[in-house]
Chain A
Amino acid sequence: MSVASRIGVGAYTLLLRLMPGGWRSTYGRESIADLREILRDSERLRGETVVGTTLRACLDLLVCLPGAWWAVLRPETAARGRDAPWGRPGLGERMTNVWRELKLAGRTLARRPGFSAVAVLTLALGIGANVAIFSIVNAVLLQPLTYDDSEGIVEFRHHAPGLDLPELSNSPGMLAFYREYADFYDAIGAWNSSSHNLAGAEEAARVRVTRGEPSLYEILRVQPFMGRPFNEADATEDGAHVAILAYDAWRSRFGGDPGVLGRTVEIDGRSREIVGVMPDGFAFPDEEVELYLPLWVDPDGPFGSFGMSALARLGDGATVASAQSRSTELLPRVLDYFDSLEPQFLEASGFAVSVETLRDRTVADVESTLWIILGTVAFVLLIACANVANLFLVRAESRQKEMAVRAAMGAGRRSVAASFLSESLLLGVAGGAFGVLFASASVDWLLALAELPRAAEVRVGAPSLALAALLSVVAGLSFGAIPMTRYVGTRFAAVLRDGGRANTSGRERHRIRNLLVASQLALGLVLLVGAGLMLRSFAELRSVDLGIEPEGVLTMGLNRNAGEDPEVAVRFYAEAAERVAALPGVRTVGITGQVPLASGSANGGSFYIESKPRQEGELPPIALYRPVGPGYFESLGIPLLAGRPMESLDWEEARRVVWVNQDFADSYFDGDALGERVAWGLETDENDQPLPDAPWAEIVGVVGDVREFGLADEDLRPNAYFPLLVDGPVNLDLRSASLTIRMQDGQDPTALIPAARQAVRELSPDVPITATRTMEEIVSEAMEGTAVTMMVLAVATAMALFLGAIGLAGVISYVVGQRTREIGVRVALGARSADVSRMILRQSMAVTAAGTLLGLFGAFALTRLMEAILYEVSATDPLTFVTAPVVLVAVSFVASWLPVRRASRVDPMEALRAE
């Protein structure tokens, strides 16, 4: 049985405890044995999930719960039922009883509005937070992707750690290889996605485009809702002339025009006919895509040009695991398939393949974070329940006499129990109802906080409502049951006799309350440690040396049509940079192909070094490169460590010069790189050596290292910077570029946006401008995931600490109240107020100490689960594990202060007179 099934059976077994004892002993074992069988079936059958089946079985149990209890609690009606045939004997009467009990409970609660409001609000917060997060977890992690039969779709990619390339997608050669050998796939479809200029719709724009082989759309099982799908004839070598619109783009860019089929649009200046519109709700890989184009992959393509993603549909009987192991088995055959590969290539590069379901790939980045957040809010709910249970216990004390009187008047224990349960149930249900309102209000806010995959699918729907109902009932029953257990066994006569004071169960009731508070504090401490670890991660992230100075820098993306003469594009960028530089407040303007941290993509590959000819079988050196204009290093504050700065003549004359970063110089030239000559993509002779007249580029400068791919990208990478136009040693992609604009000190970069856009528009109105953002925005987006997790944990921790402190204060106040007489006697016998304070404080600190100890164990066990989302901080970080308990003890101390002061001021005369 899988882990999920085991957890399911465990949860069900726990829930079964809610059933009456007789029911459980007669049918409990059979029920659990059945559930095991049912879940085993679910694992085998398609279309049923273990989680779904468990939820349905649990829900079924909860629905049956009232019936089972009423049959026991109302023995007289149940007995009468024996005489009647199989209908529903006495049901009307039973319903009347339930109704009466609930009305009574409602009236009792209404008489104590303060108590009821606090209880309902506490529960609403706890349940609401859980429902909101669960709605997100359910949509993002639990539901299958919206594609038809999506469990059969996998994504495969390659890795070559030996080449410093942990992520390697797919190449035309590898696709052909799998198409030849991988019989466990029904179909394979390659795709990539990029941005292009769109003209011919209502206005010119930059749009996201997915290019996929016709088989890709078959794997996703999508049919246009209007028009026709792509066919093999569309995917041609010279690029096809057809396009399919996404539904939303059809609505927004073409006004939902039903006659859109056959219309022509221009994509990067090339005409394409619209042949279809995708159905509403279809998006691949995400909602931002507006246009789908066919992709042609050369069946005789090379092994080496990796760069496209690939999906596959599993064949009959194949699973992700079997596809993974069989793909791994296939890999050695690439040596026979591609003549160009050296025999030692596989071993030296560590070339490997990984196969994962599309669902796992889609949510991989957020999965652990979401589960941790769900766990966190579950803790908050537990704390909230403990708090309400405590409130109930306090109130139960004051109702002892009322209960005793009811018992004396002939009310059975069952009816006393029923009245407790109906009150707590009513509170639980009210808390749940408010919680759902709270959740539906906060889900959108939560989604706005962080960019999540599949966010469009999130809603507070039936599963969330079911969870809210389940939580309300379970919470209501559990905190109602705690005082009830105390009552059902109480000897009421004794209570009446001694006025509810010194009966024996008092001490035990204390123990329950202390236990509740200690566990609240323990849970609070676990959250505190979690929040502390996130805070430390965040601080570490902030202190990472990015290698740039982001303050006061604005970036602005400019886009030209693909296929345009590079020189025309570069002249345009340079002219735009010059115009922006002339604006008031601007210090320097640079041009770059990619802004650091802003895009995941980069150009790069193996290169040649003139002074170190390649040996046979040796792995080539690899580095990234990008085109930059003069002023780039200065505008981002990247220091020039050696050599000369870049000047305009470098690109105007297309000089063969290049700048490299420190890591490049260290990796390949032991730090002394100036004067060395390098080149990418050279033509080579039959021995893989560059031709004698190869266009080498000379290294004329060394600059500081920059974290190009994000704060948590652990490795620096060798990087080369070419002038915008260069003749020979490299191929530069200049379709789009960004201006990096550094303002003079103290000037706000955002204030420049309108003027900068205007300056570019004057130069050319048709060039789409994208992503006008400050460098600081880009940096904070790169930290977003950590920041959001930290914030959610911090809010949850604050709530938990607050609730825990209230709980502790309540318990200590109560203790003081109970012991007033004793304290009075002590004071009368000569105890000083400091002695009294110490006595009470000792009790409060004992509870705190127990909670702290418990919490430390819990934190130690649970924070390991956070390892994946921590940055440069160990899950058992000593600083956090010392600080968090100190904070907890301080909070407890403050919470006990008021009641302790009250105790120290007890007037012995008053206290004794009250007797």
Chain B
Amino acid sequence: MGDTADDRGTRRRLKAAWFHILLALADGAQHGYAIRRSVKERTDGVVKLYPATLYGSIRDLSDQGLIEALEGEDDPDDDQRRRYYRLTPAGRDALADEVGRLQEILDQARATRALGGA
């Protein structure tokens, strides 16, 4: 599935929950609750991922091959049951694409007169 991002994905919008989860995993593997916490912090409490949405998205993202579960990496301080998830190369690409797409929109928006553009 290495080709996912390249051939047709560049203009396709990533679901908001997916984007936040990928972003949260960009700095390293995390478990579900840690993902929720970092998304909540990053968005100042605006985006709260409740379990069904969170794990529904994790399942979809795993199906798409954008993230994968790490088996057997237990944090000694943490609940044994928690699984850690990390980005796959395809996930990293997808995230970069989405950031690029958002950047483009931002650039266009900044260029409009309302926001002080030319």
A residues lining the B interface (CB < 8 Å)? 12, 19, 23, 26-27, 29-35, 37-38, 56-57, 60-61, 63-65, 67-68, 81-82, 85-88
- 17 CB contacts below 8 A, A to B, read A27-B58, A30-B32, A30-B82, A30-B83, A31-B51, A31-B55, A33-B33, A33-B79, A33-B82, A34-B33, A35-B51, A56-B50, A61-B51, A85-B12, A85-B64, A86-B61, A88-B15
Please determine whether B32 and A85 come into contact, CB atoms closer than 8 angstroms: no
Please determine whether B14 and A86 come into contact, CB atoms closer than 8 angstroms: yes
A33-B82, A38-B51, A86-B4 given; name 12 further pairs at CB < 8 Å. Answer: A23-B56, A23-B59, A26-B59, A30-B31, A33-B33, A56-B48, A57-B50, A68-B56, A85-B5, A85-B8, A87-B12, A88-B15
Per the bound structure, the CA–CA distance linking A57 and B49 in Å amounts to: 9
Per the bound structure, the CA–CA distance linking A696 and B48 in Å amounts to: 74
- B94 at the A/B interface (Cβ < 8 Å)? yes
Over the window 12-43 of chain B, the binary record of Cβ atoms lying under 8 Å from chain A Cβ atoms (1 yes, 0 no) is 10110010000000000001110010000000
Per the bound structure, the CA–CA distance linking A12 and B52 in Å amounts to: 10
Per the bound structure, the CA–CA distance linking A56 and B53 in Å amounts to: 11
Residue ID in chain B nearest A36 by CB atoms: B33
Inside 8 A of A81's CB, which chain B residues have their CB?
Answer: 63
**Contact of A29 with B81 at beta-carbon distance under 8 Å, contacts A34-B33, A57-B50, A61-B51 already known:** yes
Give A662 Cβ to nearest chain B Cβ, in Å: 65
Inside 8 A of A68's CB, which chain B residues have their CB?
Answer: 52, 56
Give B22 Cβ to nearest chain A Cβ, in Å: 10
Please determine whether A60 and B52 come into contact, CB atoms closer than 8 angstroms: yes
**Contact of A37 with B58 at beta-carbon distance under 8 Å, contacts A86-B64, A86-B66 already known:** no
**Contact of A67 with B56 at beta-carbon distance under 8 Å, contacts A30-B81, A34-B33, A86-B4 already known:** yes
Please determine whether B9 and A86 come into contact, CB atoms closer than 8 angstroms: yes
Please determine whether A31 and B52 come into contact, CB atoms closer than 8 angstroms: yes
Give A40 Cβ to nearest chain B Cβ, in Å: 11
Residue ID in chain A nearest B48 by CB atoms: A56
Inside 8 A of B64's CB, which chain A residues have their CB?
Answer: 82, 85-86
Give B48 Cβ to nearest chain A Cβ, in Å: 8
- B96 at the A/B interface (Cβ < 8 Å)? no
Inside 8 A of A85's CB, which chain B residues have their CB?
Answer: 4-5, 8-9, 12, 64, 94
Per the bound structure, the CA–CA distance linking A82 and B51 in Å amounts to: 23
Give A856 Cβ to nearest chain B Cβ, in Å: 39
Per the bound structure, the CA–CA distance linking A479 and B85 in Å amounts to: 38
**Contact of A60 with B5 at beta-carbon distance under 8 Å, contacts A23-B59, A33-B81, A81-B63 already known:** no
Give A886 Cβ to nearest chain B Cβ, in Å: 48
Give A370 Cβ to nearest chain B Cβ, in Å: 28
Residue ID in chain B nearest A56 by CB atoms: B50
**Contact of A34 with B63 at beta-carbon distance under 8 Å, contacts A85-B4, A85-B12, A86-B14 already known:** no
Per the bound structure, the CA–CA distance linking A23 and B60 in Å amounts to: 11
- B47 at the A/B interface (Cβ < 8 Å)? no
Please determine whether B52 and A37 come into contact, CB atoms closer than 8 angstroms: no
Per the bound structure, the CA–CA distance linking A82 and B83 in Å amounts to: 23
Per the bound structure, the CA–CA distance linking A63 and B17 in Å amounts to: 14
Give A39 Cβ to nearest chain B Cβ, in Å: 11
Inside 8 A of A57's CB, which chain B residues have their CB?
Answer: 50-52
Please determine whether B51 and A86 come into contact, CB atoms closer than 8 angstroms: no
Inside 8 A of B94's CB, which chain A residues have their CB?
Answer: 85-86
Nearest first, the 9 closest Cβ-Cβ pairs linking A and B are A31-B51, A60-B50, A27-B55, A61-B52, A64-B52, A86-B64, A57-B50, A85-B4, A85-B9
Give B9 Cβ to nearest chain A Cβ, in Å: 5
Inside 8 A of B63's CB, which chain A residues have their CB?
Answer: 81-82
Per the bound structure, the CA–CA distance linking A56 and B12 in Å amounts to: 30
Inside 8 A of B79's CB, which chain A residues have their CB?
Answer: 33
Inside 8 A of A33's CB, which chain B residues have their CB?
Answer: 33, 79, 81-82
Per the bound structure, the CA–CA distance linking A81 and B4 in Å amounts to: 12
Per the bound structure, the CA–CA distance linking A57 and B63 in Å amounts to: 24
Inside 8 A of B8's CB, which chain A residues have their CB?
Answer: 85
Give A481 Cβ to nearest chain B Cβ, in Å: 19
Residue ID in chain B nearest A59 by CB atoms: B50
Give B115 Cβ to nearest chain A Cβ, in Å: 30
Per the bound structure, the CA–CA distance linking A38 and B34 in Å amounts to: 11
Residue ID in chain A nearest B56 by CB atoms: A64
Within 8 Å by CB of A34, from B5, B32, B61, lies B32
Per the bound structure, the CA–CA distance linking A71 and B108 in Å amounts to: 37
Within 8 Å by CB of B53, from A23, A29, A60, lies A60
Per the bound structure, the CA–CA distance linking A501 and B31 in Å amounts to: 54
Per the bound structure, the CA–CA distance linking A26 and B59 in Å amounts to: 9
Residue ID in chain A nearest B83 by CB atoms: A30
**Contact of A64 with B4 at beta-carbon distance under 8 Å, contacts A34-B33, A85-B64 already known:** no
Per the bound structure, the CA–CA distance linking A32 and B50 in Å amounts to: 11
Give B101 Cβ to nearest chain A Cβ, in Å: 13
Please determine whether A30 and B55 come into contact, CB atoms closer than 8 angstroms: yes
Give B73 Cβ to nearest chain A Cβ, in Å: 15
Per the bound structure, the CA–CA distance linking A27 and B59 in Å amounts to: 9
Please determine whether B81 and A34 come into contact, CB atoms closer than 8 angstroms: no
Residue ID in chain A nearest B8 by CB atoms: A85
Inside 8 A of B55's CB, which chain A residues have their CB?
Answer: 23, 26-27, 30-31
Give B28 Cβ to nearest chain A Cβ, in Å: 19
Residue ID in chain A nearest B13 by CB atoms: A87
Please determine whether A34 and B59 come into contact, CB atoms closer than 8 angstroms: no
Inside 8 A of A60's CB, which chain B residues have their CB?
Answer: 50-53
Please determine whether A37 and B56 come into contact, CB atoms closer than 8 angstroms: no
Give A92 Cβ to nearest chain B Cβ, in Å: 15
Per the bound structure, the CA–CA distance linking A697 and B15 in Å amounts to: 86
**Contact of A34 with B36 at beta-carbon distance under 8 Å, contacts A60-B53, A64-B53, A85-B4 already known:** yes
Give A173 Cβ to nearest chain B Cβ, in Å: 47
Inside 8 A of B32's CB, which chain A residues have their CB?
Answer: 30, 34
Per the bound structure, the CA–CA distance linking A522 and B23 in Å amounts to: 54
Per the bound structure, the CA–CA distance linking A65 and B51 in Å amounts to: 12
Interface centre among B33, B61, B81 (most CB of A within 10 A): B33
Inside 8 A of A56's CB, which chain B residues have their CB?
Answer: 48, 50
Inside 8 A of A67's CB, which chain B residues have their CB?
Answer: 56
Per the bound structure, the CA–CA distance linking A60 and B12 in Å amounts to: 25
Per the bound structure, the CA–CA distance linking A81 and B63 in Å amounts to: 9
Per the bound structure, the CA–CA distance linking A207 and B31 in Å amounts to: 62
Per the bound structure, the CA–CA distance linking A12 and B79 in Å amounts to: 20
Residue ID in chain B nearest A31 by CB atoms: B51
Inside 8 A of A64's CB, which chain B residues have their CB?
Answer: 52-53, 56
Give B91 Cβ to nearest chain A Cβ, in Å: 9
Give A480 Cβ to nearest chain B Cβ, in Å: 21
Give A135 Cβ to nearest chain B Cβ, in Å: 24
Give A38 Cβ to nearest chain B Cβ, in Å: 8
Per the bound structure, the CA–CA distance linking A768 and B92 in Å amounts to: 80
Residue ID in chain B nearest A23 by CB atoms: B59
Inside 8 A of A65's CB, which chain B residues have their CB?
Answer: 52
Residue ID in chain A nearest B61 by CB atoms: A86
Per the bound structure, the CA–CA distance linking A23 and B58 in Å amounts to: 11
Residue ID in chain A nearest B98 by CB atoms: A86
Per the bound structure, the CA–CA distance linking A68 and B59 in Å amounts to: 10
* CB-contacts of B87-118 with A (<8 A): 94
Give A200 Cβ to nearest chain B Cβ, in Å: 51
Per the bound structure, the CA–CA distance linking A61 and B56 in Å amounts to: 9
Residue ID in chain B nearest A87 by CB atoms: B12
Per the bound structure, the CA–CA distance linking A26 and B85 in Å amounts to: 13
Per the bound structure, the CA–CA distance linking A225 and B63 in Å amounts to: 57
Inside 8 A of A31's CB, which chain B residues have their CB?
Answer: 51-52, 54-55
Interface centre among B15, B58, B64 (most CB of A within 10 A): B64
Per the bound structure, the CA–CA distance linking A201 and B79 in Å amounts to: 69
Give A246 Cβ to nearest chain B Cβ, in Å: 36
Give B61 Cβ to nearest chain A Cβ, in Å: 7
Give B74 Cβ to nearest chain A Cβ, in Å: 14
Per the bound structure, the CA–CA distance linking A56 and B64 in Å amounts to: 28
Inside 8 A of A88's CB, which chain B residues have their CB?
Answer: 15
Inside 8 A of B53's CB, which chain A residues have their CB?
Answer: 60, 63-64
Per the bound structure, the CA–CA distance linking A341 and B61 in Å amounts to: 74
Per the bound structure, the CA–CA distance linking A12 and B51 in Å amounts to: 10
Give A80 Cβ to nearest chain B Cβ, in Å: 12
